[in-house]
Amino acid sequence: MPVHNEDIAVIFEEMADLLEIENANPFRVRAYRNAARTVRGLGRELSEMVAAGEDLTRLPGIGKDLAAKIEEILATGHARALDKLHKQVPASLEALLKIPGLGPKRVKLLYQQLHIRTLKQLENAARQGRLQDLPGFGVKIEQRILDTIEARRSQEKRFLHNTARQYAEPLVAYLRAVAGVDEVVVAGSYRRGKDTVGDLDILVTARADSPVMQRFIEYDEVHEIVSKGTTRATVFLRCGLQVDLRVVEQQSYGAALYYFTGSKAHNIRVRRLAQQRGLKINEYGVFKGERRIAGKTELSVFKAVGLPFIPPELREGRGEIEAAQANKLPRLITLQELRGDLHVHTNASDGNAGIEEMARAARQHGLEYIAITDHTRSLTVAHGLDEKRLHQQLEEIDRLNEKLGGITLLKGSEVDILEDGRLDLPESILSQLDLVIGAVHSKFRLSRSRQTARILRAMDSKYFTILAHPSGRLLEEREAYEVEMPRIIKAARERGCYLELNSQPQRLDLIDTYCQLAKEQGVLIAINSDGHSPANYGFLQDGINQARRGWLEKKNVLNACSLRELRKKLKATMG
């Protein structure tokens, strides 16, 4: 059975969690977590690299032991070391780790003090008020656990867009190779670039004698066949992802692609426009009475109702119809228009590569400049830099700028915003930087007013440049902290600073609607990779997807500027 990078990363994360519950050596735990991050950030499948005979130990953070485990997982689908841990740690404890706020240390405490092994036992203990007396818990955490358990009962399983892509692309390639198949495309929320997807809607055009339906259900990652007909089938893959396949006629391809791409709100609005013209739209075409007048292409569908082509990312029912009617649709930002990356980490803090390696990789990705922005001293878990180490790094950047060609390194720092809004480093060192990225990495549970005041105070610093991952969310893991984002956006405009759209697949933060609000307020957005390894520049495409959903154009993106323009803007911001 094929094993994807995400499958390997999940195993390494699980091993790290179980080792932490066992109170194993912190360096060993960190090694697995770093390996999981490296694997997730690769631009290629590890299976391809092993098949090509490549040395996995050349990957950041992957030594001989981890390389051997990767090869074992690729060959067998599991790791004996994880099987051994499952015998030592109750398997049911892993379900507790999926509750936000219950890290390995708290799960271990629940197990040791209250003998809690299952979600049901956890729920019962919380309802009885037995959690609040444990160190590090309390009434609020207890209630939050109950709320999360209740919410998860009604939520469908969703996948990060980046994760879904690992399963979608090989499946699409497989279907395209089937005899008689012409077009294969993934529609739905996946095509709209949503940060998470619940399932995959795949459309295929094929000859009548094509065996595509049978080949689909025979795909080696199919775990369960829900239904199969002559033109429709539904399966679940081993990873739990539902996939719906529809075979459509070529003359209906555009109509079906349109129909299965737009959100419900968008499709309703377009159907009303069609009705006003005496037309009917469905997945088979645009009809006037019984006669099909459009449907072979998406463009023909839009033309039939008097609209120009609307990009898939905008089809959410949030003003795109009105913009199209007024000929004011944005020319959405593309990856090729990014000139640089203003949030890059190195092995000086929690990255996996040195400055020069990160610079050369950025140049290979077509970037003209990057900002080195390692963490600061308060973030001890990331080995943050103090003044002395940051000063040494600035000197190294100067040396590399003299040596490297085709790429320029900017001096930056991802500076912690402390609870009271102060920045983690003194102005004496901040004044030597080209840019300062302020970030909240602690005290996520402050009240909305206190969290907002904290960030606003940080933005008052004359050296503050960009607010990193502004809501602090981690998709499917941690909710955004409470903050008045419209006030933050307004403050950024008034203070002349910027907001980040963090491209890490688990973040994609700012959300699309706030990107749109920032655009309306005239606040530029920096689409950054937050890269921790050379392969992480590939995450910029995920950020572009989110930016396009937020209606952003080249002129709205800070790092779409030339280096000369950027320096002017940074100089103005840094006083």
CB atoms near residue 147 (< 10 Å): 11
Q: What was the pLDDT predicted at 330?
A: 98
CA dihedral of 548, 550, 553, 558, whole degrees rounded to 10: -110
- Token pair, residue 315, equals 């089809």
CA neighbor of 481 nearest in space, from 517, 503, 452, 511: 452
* C-alpha Rg value of the chain to the nearest Å: 25
Q: Is 375 helix (H, G, I), strand (E, B) or coil?
A: strand
Pairing of strands 285-288, 498-502: unpaired
CA atoms of 253 and 119, how far apart (whole Å): 46
Please, are residues 212 and 233 in contact by the beta-carbon 8 Å criterion? no
pLDDT of residue 399: 97
Dihedral in degrees, nearest 10, Cα atoms 271, 276, 279, 285: -30
Residue-wise DSSP of 264-293: HHHHHHHHHHHHHTT-EEETTEEEETTEEE
pTM: predicted TM-score of the whole model, two decimal places: 0.83
Paired strand residues for 498: 466
CA pair distance 441, 384, nearest whole angstrom: 12
Map 502-529 to HEC letters.
ECCCCCCECCHHHHHHHHHHCCCEEEEC
Q: What is the pLDDT along the chain (575 residues), one digit of tens a residue?
A: 678 888 899 899 888 888 888 778 888 888 998 899 889 888 789 999 999 999 999 888 899 999 999 999 999 888 899 888 887 777 667 778 777 777 788 888 888 888 887 778 888 888 888 888 888 787 888 888 888 777 766 566 789 999 999 999 999 999 999 999 999 999 999 999 999 999 999 999 999 999 999 999 999 999 999 989 899 999 999 999 999 999 999 999 999 999 999 999 999 999 999 999 999 999 999 999 999 999 999 999 999 999 999 999 999 999 999 999 999 999 999 999 999 999 999 999 999 899 999 999 999 999 999 999 999 998 887 789 999 999 999 999 999 999 999 999 999 999 999 999 999 999 999 999 999 999 999 999 899 999 999 999 999 999 999 999 999 999 988 889 999 999 999 999 999 999 999 999 999 999 999 999 999 999 999 999 999 999 999 999 999 999 999 999 999 999 999 999 999 999 988 76
pLDDT tens per residue, range 506-553: 999 999 999 999 999 999 999 999 999 999 999 999 999 999 999 999
Domains of the chain: 5-154 (1.10.150.110), 159-248 (3.30.460.10), 253-325 (3.30.210.10), 335-573 (3.20.20.140)
Q: Using CA atoms, how far apart are residues 537 and 323, in angstroms rounded to an integer?
A: 33
Using CA atoms, how far apart are residues 117 and 372, in angstroms rounded to an integer?
44
Q: How confident is the model at residue 1, as a pLDDT?
A: 65
In the DSSP assignment, the letter for residue 157 is P
How far is the C-alpha of 275 from the C-alpha of 264, rounded, in Å? 16
Q: What is the pLDDT of residue 25?
A: 86
Helix (H, G, I), strand (E, B) or coil at 362: helix
For residue 410, what are its two tokens? 């900017």
Which residue, among 201, 216, 210, has the nearest Cα to 182 in the 3D structure? 210
CA dihedral 30, 35, 41, 46 (to 10 degrees): -170
Closest CA to 107 of 81, 83, 86, 136: 136
Tell how far CA 276 is from the center of its chain: 40
Quickly list H helices, 312-354. 320-325
Helical pair 64-76 and 26-41, crossing angle rounded to 10 deg: 60
Question: DSSP character for 315?
Answer: T
Upper half-sphere CA count for residue 214 (Cβ side, 13 Å) = 6
What's the helix, strand, coil split of the chain in %, to 5? 45, 15, 35
Dihedral in degrees, nearest 10, Cα atoms 475, 447, 520, 497 = -90
Other Cβ atoms closer than 10 A to 233? 22
